[in-house]
Structure 1
Amino acid sequence: MVEITVCGSAVERAAAERATVTVQSRWSAPSPEAAMHAVAEAHDRLVTDAEAHEAEGAAESWHADRVWISHHEEWVGEGQPRRSVYTAAAAVTVRFRDFEALGTWIGRVGLHQTHEVGGIQWSLSDATERQRARAARTRAIADAVERAGDYAAAAGLGAPVIDAIQEPGTMPPGPVAPKGRMAAMAMEAADAGPAVSLEAGELEVRAAVEVRFVADALRHDRGSAGD
């Protein structure tokens, strides 16, 4: 009996269904009160927008769990005393279902000097990710079976039988950087400000599995030689 150990893998693809973006309100001023006041007003506008998007169904969820203030001394000129500068910031993160609504919102908030828009993180819905992961795992097993069969045939062995299955390492399947159709961004005119047209690329869900097989050597009958 011969052991054959192979690694099977598979990739499932699906169009992005969710887009998560973080918008930060940030302002610097000579006093902490002035910096915090400007940021508080800007942050309130973002929270109001996030609540409205969620209520309308354009967003799946949102949270605002980051706020900070810092201080540094700014050089003014030779022989001049340094000037104190206080910087305050707060952030709102929204997970959108509606990419058109997201593009419109980015175009609008980008008009304010206090707002900084971070990168967009594309993802699948939980249900789609589970479905694609299940399909990838099934195909990974089939890939391992095919590989083991090829090795067994090449080595002159019988049909391999699965003896053990194990996931290699700790690499859970999940979306990676968009491939194929890349995320495209283009500016369009709108009354409330420029909207951003967003098209998400396909995301990949990967699965890998290590499978150990056993196979018997083929027996070749030999005829008896006559006297």
Structure 2
Amino acid sequence: MVLIAVHGSASRSLPAERATAHLNVELEGDDRAEVVERTRALRAGLIETAEAFLASGAATRVGGSQLWARSEHRWEGREEQQRTVELASARVDVRFRDLEALAGWLLEAGSTAGVTVERVEWTLAAATRSAVERELRLAAVRDAVARAEAYGAAIGATSVGLRSVREAGLRPASGGGSGSMKWTAQASARSDGPGFALRPEDVELAVELSADFEAEPAAS
């Protein structure tokens, strides 16, 4: 009996179906109370708009951080005089299912003084991701079987049988790991002055596994 150890893999790129926008609200001035109040009002306006998207079904989640205030000492002017600047900031996070609504909202929000679009995370709907992951697991196993059968044919084996299948990171010699489905999402989102350019990219799902087979060599 000959042991054949191989790996199998499968991947697929799909258009993003969900997006989470992360916005930062930050204002500054000389009076802390006034800066805090303006920042709170600006954040409240963004939250109100986001909750309207939530009510219409365009968004699925609205969140963010509490408001933070701090003082910053700066040296300004030719004489480098020290000035104390009061700052207040908060974060607003909104997950969208309607990507057209997201683009319109970011265009408006990104044009507002004191609001910065930090990043956009792109993902798939949970049902889509679950279905595709299942298909990729099956495809990765088929890839491993094809590899093992090719090696078996090369050594003249009369049969090749599966012994074990392990997800990535679960083979003892590999040092362990989560063994979970590997997936990545990438996108490009940038602010150009008063406007905002949104360039979503595909979400890539990938599966890697290792498998052991036993091959029965031909009788000599």
State TM-score, norm by structure 2: 0.86
Residue 82 of structure 1 aligns to a residue whose secondary structure is: strand
Partner residue, 1:70: 70
In the aligned structure 1, how far is the partner of 2:190 from the partner of 2:74? 37
Query: Could you tell me whether the CA contact under 8 Å between 2:3 and 2:212 is conserved in 1?
Result: yes
Residue 172 of structure 1 pairs with residue 181 of structure 2: yes
- Partners of 2:76 and 2:32 lie apart in 1 by 19
CA radius of gyration, larger in: 1
Superposed counterparts of 1:89-100, under 5 Å: 89-100=89-100
| 1:68 Cα deviation from its structure 2 partner | 2.1
Whose strand fraction is larger, Structure 1's or Structure 2's?
Answer: 2
Which residue of the partner structure matches residue 144 of structure 2? 144
Per-residue CA deviation, residues 161-183 of structure 1 (Å, 9 max, x unaligned), is 011111121352323326xxxx6
User: Residues 5-47 of structure 1: CA distance to partner in whole angstroms, max 9, x if unpaired?
Assistant: 1000000232110111012110011232122111101000011
Equivalents in 2 of 1:175, 1:17: separation in Å? Answer: 14
Match of 2:205 in 1: 205
Q: Deviations over 1:121-145 (max 9, x none)?
A: 1110011111111111000000000
How many residue pairs match? The answer is: 210
Assess if the C-alpha contact under 8 Å between 2:40 and 2:67 holds in 1.
no
Q: Percent of counterpart pairs with the same letter?
A: 30
Deviation at 1:110, TM superposition (A): 2.1
**Any conservation in 2 of the 1:15–1:201 contact (CA below 8 Å)?**
yes
Deviates more, 1:166-175 or 1:83-92: 166-175
Structure-1-length-normalised TM-score: 0.84
Report what 1:157 is aligned to.
157
Show structure 1 runs of 5+ residues with no match: 188-192, 221-227
Displacement of 1:79 in angstroms is: 5.4
Alignment match, 1:55: 55
Root-mean-square deviation (Å): 2.3
Query: 1:176 is aligned with what amino acid?
Result: A
For structure 1, which segment, 110-119 or 198-207, has the greater mean C-alpha deviation from structure 2 after superposition? 198-207
Unaligned runs of 5+ in 2: 170-177
